Amino acid sequence: MSLSAVERQPDAVSERRVELSVVIPTFKERGNVAELVARLDCTLAGVAWEAVFVDDNSPDGTADAVKAIACRDPRIRCLRRVGRRGLAGACIEGMLSSSATYLAVMDADLQHDETVLPAMLATLRSGKYDLVAATRYVEGGSAQSFSEGRSKISRIATRLTRRVLGTSLSDPMSGFFMMRRDAFDAMADRLSPVGFKILLDIATASEGLRIVEQPYTFGERQEGESKFNIQIGLEFLGLLLAKLTHGLVEPRFIFFAVVGALGIAVNLAVLNVAMLVWPVSFMMAKSVATFFAMTSNFLLNNSLTYRDRRLRGWGMLRGFIGFRVIGTIGAVTDVGLASQLYADREVWWVAGFAGALMGVLWNYAMSSMFIWRTR
């Protein structure tokens, strides 16, 4: 498609109220930016629209590509996030930055069919619905571009979500939707910035949200690479857990728990090696193993659990010292509670489990508040 649409100055867009903001989270999507803007210009002719690209500091210069277009076209905005990562958080920030009547969210990889945006907007203009969710899994929609493996994962996740949470959405894994801004503003403070499936969070965050579906054909990626990985899968499970517990358990807790389990494995492995090759006392070997486990836990939590709040430089050193202090207090709490329970009722596994659970909850709460300072 010609870039003349990208270079063309819109008529009086800056002088009238923007009706539709299209929020586009990006990470390493430089090659798709110009083409997507050209497509939006074509399909949204006659609509007062803007595109808000929220870029997670892409190393390929995605933000620079967006800003180059924004210099010529005031409908294009760029929010560059530094030190923060995550699709859900990017979407929330982009939507909160808009004053438009309607908000759309779509990917920058050209797989979401922008030609259905006018139909979605017309549906919301009718006043009958608060949210239009684009779906691949009803008549008129298609996901044939998925690989066989990706298709199976998507359908399993969809069935799991509908069964566990009871949502009526046929495609809750979709990241393509449009909604009223006033409806979003009313629930924004209840949404999690951690996670990959923002539509699922929105659809289950408010009772009485009027939702309708819009079929579309899922296209093939033209540039860049898929962001789907095991980390995204864990985020999805974390969001399900949060919804099942009505927010009592946060989505990132599942990462913290997985890292803790890996820490136990590291502890035992180092202890075994130390006892075999290092002629020292058990206490010394256990101390070394515990140090390695705490170090691995800190590094993994910094990279995975709290990657949107990742510590660097001296902050990382201070965080590690604080993490060790919190972990030591957690260990004392673990042993103290377990010993007290065992003294009352001599059931070792109940006492041990209760102590370990208390230790994990303490470590998670204190680390979140004082090391990575999440909300």
| Per-residue pLDDT at 221 | 61
pTM confidence score = 0.71
The whole-number average pLDDT for the span 181-197 is: 86
Please check whether residue 242 is in contact with residue 251, taking contact to mean a CB–CB distance below 8 angstroms.
yes
56 vs 6, 85, 115, CA distance in Å?
23, 6, 26
Q: Is 278 exposed, middle or buried (0-12, 13-18, 19+ CB in 10 A)?
A: exposed
Phi first, then psi: give them for residue 177, nearest 5 degrees: -160, 170
pLDDT in tens, 54-112: 999 999 999 999 999 999 999 999 999 987 777 888 999 999 999 999 999 999 999 99
Higher pLDDT, 164 or 326: 326
